Amino acid sequence: MEKSVLVCSLLVHAAKMDENYTEKEKLIILKSLSEIYKKKEDELKKILKEAEKKESEANQILEFTREIKNSDIDFRKKIIKIIWKIIYSDEKADMYEANLMRRLSSLLYISDRECGEIKSEIIKEKNI
């Protein structure tokens, strides 16, 4: 499976964590994929559609993180940052989203401190 679809599937999973998958979250995902993969809008929408299907069929996030954890630290931090943006798109993080981030930072070998710094950066950007 293409890495972009796995990355996108993880982003979709994070967006669905609070059971409220919004257009705002989809736009964050598409914009982020555009910045990472430099693809055209129609290609990005195709990746998103494929990722939504993949995410709905998956029963655990390990499938999505396996490929990402082999990437360099900057890429892994970028994914964590995008997920924090998705989580805070509604200006709050619930306990399920916070739990997801603890699991993800561990699976992607990002320290709690680094994950917290990225979270603080997003909160500051959003002025929450």
Going from N- to C-terminal start, the domains of the chain cover: 3-126
CB atoms within 10 A of CB 126: 12
Residues of the chain with pLDDT under 50: none
Output the pLDDT for position 113.
Answer: 95
pLDDT of 81: 96
- The pLDDT, as a whole number, for residue 67 is 87
Q: What is the pTM for the complete model shown?
A: 0.93
**Which residues, in sequence order, are CB contacts of 80 under 8 Å at separation 6+?**
101, 104, 105, 108, 110, 114, 115, 118
Q: Output the pLDDT for position 121.
A: 94
Record the tokens describing residue 114, joined without a space. Answer: 């680094």
In the prediction, which pLDDT does 1 show?
65
Which of the listed CATH numbers 1.10.101.10, 3.40.50.720, 3.40.50.300, 1.10.3680.10 matches domain 3-126? 1.10.3680.10
